[in-house]
Structure 1
Amino acid sequence: MTEAKPATTRISASKAIAATSDTARDLARKTAEGIEANPVGVLAGGVALGVLLGAFLPRSEHEAKLLAPVGKRISDTTRGAFDAAKDTAKAELDVLGFTRTAARDQVGKMLGGVVRTLATAGTAAVAAAKAQPAAPEAAPATKKPAAKKAKPKA
């Protein structure tokens, strides 16, 4: 067996590192292009992956102690953001005149209009039916006497 020369080994290792570096650079470029093309999809995929990993990996006591304040802060921040969005939306709708009472009044008006429309359509249908000339009555069918069959002679 012949041992590899240090220079040959160094050249091979250098080529391998260069090839790996080029591949990693290409992969990073393609990943960045993919993220730029579809950032929402990447974000959704990352969240889904995080949820799956979090659901299947057990949490240690140490993690629970360390992450409890972070979870509480995230929960409080989320609740605050939701409440602020809800209050802002409610205020904007009030400015536009979209209140619960106004919505109920609009629904009532709409249902009243539907009932009036149906009543008007029914009245028009009855009036149209009365305006049609009466169909002539069919003459009763006269029954022809049945022909008597001859009795066979025995």
Structure 2
Amino acid sequence: MTEAHDTTREKLRDGIDHARDKASHAYESARTKANDAVDLSRDKAREAARQTAETIETNPMGVLVGGLALGALIAAVIPRGRREKELLAPVGKRVAASATAAIAAAKAAGKEELDGLGLTRSAAKNQVKSLFDGVVKAASSAGTAATQAGKDAAKTK
């Protein structure tokens, strides 16, 4: 019985050693693959950062417009909370009032400048009428000349 017992014990030790070797190999393999994945991720992140920096340097306005569009999209998708409305409502009203005042000031300044040049609404209307009359007269003259040229060509044949 001791010989059978020893054989069983050897087989058990061999099995344990084999399992330990497999576990150690699996651990090392997983560790190597994880390190490789980390290195690859780090390289990809560096490349993405480099490309982003190049894009920003070569087309800053495009990046700005894209950022604004993305911000607007996010703002449209995410609902505003009660607290946000309370905090931002006065700011929005001030921005709207400032924009309205700026538009009114620009309109008044533009009107003053045009009036100073003598370009009033009635003067502009008269200019457009005069231009239209000239175009109609030119078209009529061209039609008359074409008709006459056709008649002259028919007589010579």
TM-score of the alignment, normalized to the shorter chain, above 0.5: yes
- 2:83 is matched with 62
> Is 1:80 matched up with 2:140?
no
- 2:110 is matched with 89
Task: Return 123-132 or 62-71, whichever deviates more.
Answer: 123-132
> Aligned partners of 1:126 and 1:26: how far apart in 2?
73
Long gaps (5+) in structure 1: 1-19, 136-154
> Aligned partners of 1:81 and 1:29: how far apart in 2?
41
- How far residue 120 of structure 1 moved from its aligned partner, in angstroms, is 1.3
Q: Give the CA RMSD over aligned residues.
A: 3.3
- 1:46 is matched with 67
Q: Return the TM-score normalized by structure 1.
A: 0.59
Superimposed CA distance per residue, residues 106-144 of structure 1 (whole angstroms, 9 cap, x where no aligned partner): 111111111111221222223223334265xxxxxxxxx
- 1:133 is matched with 155
Closer, same or farther in 2 for the Cα pair 1:122/1:103, shift >3 Å?
same
| Matched AA of 1:133 | K
Task: Return 108-117 or 25-34, whichever deviates more.
Answer: 25-34
Between Structure 1 and Structure 2, the one with more helix by share is 2
> Aligned partners of 1:32 and 1:90: how far apart in 2?
45
Closer, same or farther in 2 for the Cα pair 1:79/1:61, shift >3 Å?
same
| Matched AA of 2:87 | L
> Aligned partners of 2:93 and 2:81: how far apart in 1?
18
- 2:134 is matched with 113
> Aligned partners of 1:33 and 1:79: how far apart in 2?
39
> Aligned partners of 2:73 and 2:113: how far apart in 1?
38
> Aligned partners of 2:49 and 2:110: how far apart in 1?
41
Q: Secondary structure at the match of 2:125?
A: helix
- How far residue 95 of structure 1 moved from its aligned partner, in angstroms, is 2.5
Superimposed CA distance per residue, residues 28-75 of structure 1 (whole angstroms, 9 cap, x where no aligned partner): 887666545433323222221221111111111111111111111111
Q: Return the TM-score normalized by structure 2.
A: 0.58
- 1:102 is matched with 123
